[in-house]
Structure 1
Amino acid sequence: MSKWWLGALAVVALAGFAAGPSAVAPAANGTGIKPFGITDVPGRATALVPGATGTRWIRLKNAENFPILVRTVAAAVGRPVDGAGKPVPACPASSVRVDPLATPVTVTGDGTADVALTTHMVPGAPDACRGLTFPLTYTGTAVKP
């Protein structure tokens, strides 16, 4: 059975998963929406095969001194790259999808919370997708409860 690796560059990004810089979800002043960080949890690679479902762990970081309620997190899948970081046009980004955060998560003041997002590789993913990294860009919203 061939394995495909699902990876992430945290801006965050989905070969294994390679962690990158943390992202801060957008915030608007005066609206009650709070900024927070989203990064990949190191050491938790996700390997997928066509038609399979996996788990991608992310870490939510709250830099405020009070709790926040993270209401949403979504991941956009970017163009996959090979081990040398070169794009692979024969494997479309649509070969992988990531479900949004299933339920809101409270993150303590100055704290972190690790949560899982469900990942999927489409059943008909091409062989060209084998061993690639699928960059993920995370976005989300959080409020002060």
Structure 2
Amino acid sequence: MSRWRTGVPVGVLTAVVLGWFAAGPAPAGHTANGGGGKQFGIADVPGRATALYPGATGTRWIRLANAENFPIRVQTVTAVVGKPLDGAGRGVPACPSSSVRVDALATPVTVPGNGTADVALTTHMLPGAPDACRSVTFPLAYSGTAVKP
């Protein structure tokens, strides 16, 4: 069984009704770990709106991409929440990044050879999040592991 990892700083999570903002559906980068150097991509799926506000739970759709000609089984995907930004791209010091949490991938996902799979991650804005966290954007950095079945 081969193992490899990917870590991709992509996409953003936002607390406005306009929802998620992403540059596009294509994977934005890859990293591999030893044992064959296999890779897979993780990117945001654009156009999926989510309204997060203090105490809310939502869904963040991501796309897993496999450039190999055989299927892979993605075992883990996690997201680290970055410092929030306002509409002009400036930091929002009154809103800590810890106000938002993204759950890890709930179950492993098989991605076909030369294919993609869209999956949902559950997002939470903590009930005690300050009002400054409304209408801001939270950048997400993804990482994950996969095996060749």
Using the size of structure 1 for normalisation, the TM-score is 0.87
2:21 to 8, 18, 21: 18
| SS of residue matched to 1:128 | helix
Match of 2:105 in 1: 101
Match of 1:58 in 2: 62
Match of 1:48 in 2: 52
CA distance in 2, matches of 1:57, 1:36: 16
1:78 to 79, 82, 104: 82
What is the CA distance between 1:38 and its match in structure 2?
0.5
CA distance in 2, matches of 1:87, 1:57: 24
Matched, 1:115 2:119: yes
Aligned residue identity for 2:69: N
Aligned residue identity for 1:95: S
**Which structure 1 residue ranges, 5 or more long, are not aligned?**
1-9
Match of 2:32 in 1: 27
- State the identity as a percent: 73
Using the size of structure 2 for normalisation, the TM-score is 0.84
Aligned residue pair count: 135
